[in-house]
Amino acid sequence: MRLPIPVRRLGYRLAYGGLRVYWYFRRPQLSGVKCVLTDRDEVLLVRHTYGPRVWDLPGGAIKRGEPPVGAARREMAEELGVSIDDWRPLGAVAVTVDHRTDHVHAFQAESPTRELTIDRGEIARAAWFPRNGLPSDLGRYAHRILARTPRPQP
């Protein structure tokens, strides 16, 4: 049985606040994934229920011993209900933020569907945006990662 959405959202916010304290004192190096889901010349962006309330690429942490592409598959299935096996690697970016160093592995795939089953506890909103009409409040890695994605052929 899953907890009600408001309880899950509160849990994510509290956990994120606790992690920020931990990051301040421990200065960890973390690994994660960001996924660029495309539908021709549109890209899927999400707003999380915790952390900065910006439009961002979906993704998450890599579990111990998990390959980055496996984390991309798992995160997209958990957060968006999308099953994709054919991920194209876009390389990695490293950024220090919130007193931690993130090593983010980026992947791109053409989405098999625009119909998503969003985890409402973790994702507040998801929307498709044309690449030439992205919102101004993008997450910290989004521009760097999107610059690595190929444009579809007309």
Q: Is residue 153 part of a domain?
A: no
Which CA distances in Å does 6 have to 12, 78, 80, 147? 10, 18, 18, 35
pTM of the model: 0.84
The CA distance from 113 to 37, in Å, is 10
Query: Out of 52-56, 90-94, 100-104, 141-145, which region has the weakest mean confidence (pLDDT)?
Result: 100-104
pLDDT at 95: 80
Q: Is residue 18 part of a domain?
A: yes
Please say if the pLDDT value at position 99 is more than 90: no
Q: Is residue 19 part of a domain?
A: yes
Q: Is residue 152 part of a domain?
A: no
Q: Is residue 59 part of a domain?
A: yes
Number of structural domains, the chain? 1
**Contact criterion met (CB below 8 Å) for 143 and 60:** no
The more confidently predicted of residues 95 and 58 is 58
Q: Is residue 94 part of a domain?
A: yes
The CA distance from 86 to 82, in Å, is 12
Query: Out of 37-41, 72-76, 99-103, 125-129, which region has the weakest mean confidence (pLDDT)?
Result: 99-103
Q: Is residue 45 part of a domain?
A: yes
Alpha helices per DSSP H over 27-93: 68-80
CATH code at position 121: 3.90.79.10
The CA distance from 13 to 23, in Å, is 15
Q: Is residue 151 part of a domain?
A: no
Helix (H, G, I), strand (E, B) or coil at 56: strand
Residue 101 domain boundaries:
5-146
